Chain A
Amino acid sequence: MDKKVMIYSTPGCPFCNMAKKFLKDNNVDFEDSDVSTDRTKAQEMIQKSGQMAVPVLDINGEIIVGFDKEKIRKAVGL
Chain B
Amino acid sequence: MFDLIIIGAGPAGITASVYAARKKMNFLVITKDVGGQAAWSGDIENYTGYQFISGPELAAKFEEHMQKYGIELKENEEVLELRRKDNVVWVKTDKGTYEAKTVVIASGKRSRELGVPGEAEFKNRGLTYCATCDGPLFSEKDVAVIGGGNSALDAALQLIKIAKHIYLINITSALTGDAIMREKVSESKKVSILNSTQVTAVLGDRMVSGIKIRRQEKEETLPVQGVFVEIGLIPSSEFAKELEKNELGEIRVNCRNETNIPGIFAAGDVTEVPEKQIIVAGGEGAKAALGAFRYLAQHK
Mark A residues whose CB is within 8 Å of B: 10, 12-18, 21, 35-37, 39, 42, 46, 50-54, 65, 67-70
Contacts and interface: CB of A to CB of B under 8 A. Distances in A.
Interface residues of B, number: 26
Interface in B100-146: 124-126, 128, 130, 132-137, 139
Contact of A51 (B40, B55, B125, B139): B125
B39 A18 contact: yes
Given A14-B39, A68-B76, A52 B136 contact: no
Nearest to B123: A53
Contact of B124 (A13, A18, A35, A51): A51
Contacts of A69: 75-76
30 contacts: A10-B132, A10-B133, A10-B135, A12-B133, A12-B136, A13-B134, A14-B39, A14-B40, A14-B55, A14-B56, A15-B33, A16-B133, A17-B56, A18-B39, A35-B136, A35-B137, A36-B136, A50-B125, A51-B124, A51-B125, A52-B125, A52-B126, A52-B134, A52-B226, A53-B128, A53-B133, A53-B134, A54-B133, A69-B76, A70-B75
Given A10-B133, A52-B125, A70-B75, 4 more contacts: A10-B137, A13-B134, A17-B56, A18-B56
B187 to A, nearest CB: 23
A21 B134 contact: no
A65 to B, nearest CB: 7
Nearest to A10: B136
B71 interface: no
Contacts of A39: 139
B300 interface: no
A73 to B, nearest CB: 11
B35 A50 contact: no
Interface string B59-96: 11000000000000001100000000000000000000
B201 to A, nearest CB: 19
Interface in B28-67: 33-35, 39-40, 55-56, 59-60
B290 interface: no
B294 interface: no
A11 to B, nearest CB: 8
Nearest to A37: B136
B137 A52 contact: yes
A52 B207 contact: yes
Nearest to A43: B137
Contact of B134 (A17, A18, A37, A54): A54
A53 B135 CA distance: 9
A10 B134 contact: yes
Contacts of B299: none
Contacts of A68: 76
